[in-house]
Amino acid sequence: MAVYKRFKGIKITSKHPAYAKARWWVYKRVKGQPTLHQGLPEARTREEAELAERQLVKAMFDKTYGIADTTTTFEDFVESTYRKYVEQVNVNKGAKNLYIRLLLDQLRDRPLHSITAQDCRDCRSKLQMRSNKRKKGGLSASSINRIMSTASKIFSLACEEGILDRNPMQYVRSLPEPPPRKRLLTSAQKDALWGELEADQLLYRLVILAVNLPLRRGQLLALDEKVIDFENERVWVIRSKGRPPRSVPVNATASRVLREMIEHNQLPFPLKDFRKRWHPLLIRAGINKLGGTREENYHFHDLRSYFASELIRRNTNPLIVQNLFAHSDMSITNIYAETEADLMLEAVKRLDPTST
């Protein structure tokens, strides 16, 4: 057997004083070439080292001749490979960890090679029946599609590693998703919103910043005097969705609010009861309904659409809007940059013949 012990980079025999604590190694040549040479830190005896050698040689043989790996389970591959992928690429790690947990609930102990397209459809069906604390009726189609897209990436990586010959998700269609809900407020709703905000200075300042800075609520609430550069009109923001920190421009309106908040010692935002103040305010403004669904109600995140639509109203280049929001694709920007009905009406009226 081609197993031996090595100490400080040197092959040793049983007569060496450090033999007992030295690590076992395996060295195997095929067709005169060294193809297998690695340490066996878990092996404690020669028998264990030789068993590990046989398993490694078999795995090498199976890979060379295209024999399926029947030992690697879905969980094994997720923990050994996919989690490393999540850490190394620019993705939303929090969301991916949630998707991994949901997929493991369904496919944990299944050998990767045994998972079929129908198994993936069954997994999707179970996700559809799963209860959702934030929404009645289970997970939405878009949420399930994102989870199954994660499963597809896992299988794709397994194909790259030579464990699978094909991705079973390639035969599984995505669920049809409803069209994006309307996110823009009417002129009357805008007036009602600002009218209600006048009675809540802290929330008013938060909304002013939200419609002047391309930041999410968490980033706004975390703003600190140290990350604001008034001289260069920039602010550094914390990472979001796996992206590195970045700087965004600050206009005069946002700068004025930030200076006022620093003067009143309000940064970071001393806002601990956001939901208790935001949702009732929208109900009082007649924008949201008491007991309304998530699709019906207006959300703080929708202020990003407010911001984007105001930029479009002022004929801002869409590419600039995309860069401001740090969107990887223009299709994402288009979701936020809705066009108001009044603007569309004004556009078509330009085709009317002018009276003489």
Q: Classify residue 182: in a domain, yes or no.
A: no
Q: Which of 311, 297, 310, 209 is nearest to 261 (CA)?
A: 209
Domain CATH number, residue 159: 1.10.150
Tell me: do 102 and 159 sit in the same domain: yes
- Average of pLDDT values for 296-320? 87
192 and 114 housed in the same domain: no
Average pLDDT over residues 327-355: 68
Domains held by the chain: number: 3
Question: Are 331 and 208 found together in one domain?
Answer: yes
Alpha carbon 76 to its chain centroid, in Å, reads 22
- Domain span at 126: 74-171
Model confidence pLDDT, tens digit, residues 243-295 = 677 889 999 999 999 999 999 999 999 988 999 999 999 999 999 998 888 77
- Domain check: are 147 and 244 in the same one? no
d(CA 230, CA 81): 44
For residues 197 and 312, membership in a common domain is answered with: yes
Residue 29: the pLDDT is 73
| Residue 180 domain-assigned (yes or no) | no
How far is the C-alpha of 196 from the C-alpha of 200, rounded, in Å? Answer: 8
Query: Do 155 and 224 share a structural domain?
Result: no
Q: Over 80: is that where the pLDDT of 131 sits?
A: no
* End position of a domain, from candidates 127, 142, 171: 171
Closest by Cα among 168, 157, 158, 162 to 66? 162
Co-location of 8 and 140 in the same domain: no
In a shared domain, residues 24 and 152: no
Give pLDDT tens digits for 181-229.
777 888 899 999 999 999 999 999 999 999 999 999 999 999 999 999 9
Note whether 137 and 48 are same-domain residues. Answer: no
Whether residues 157 and 200 fall in one domain? no
CATH of the domain at 288: 1.10.443.10
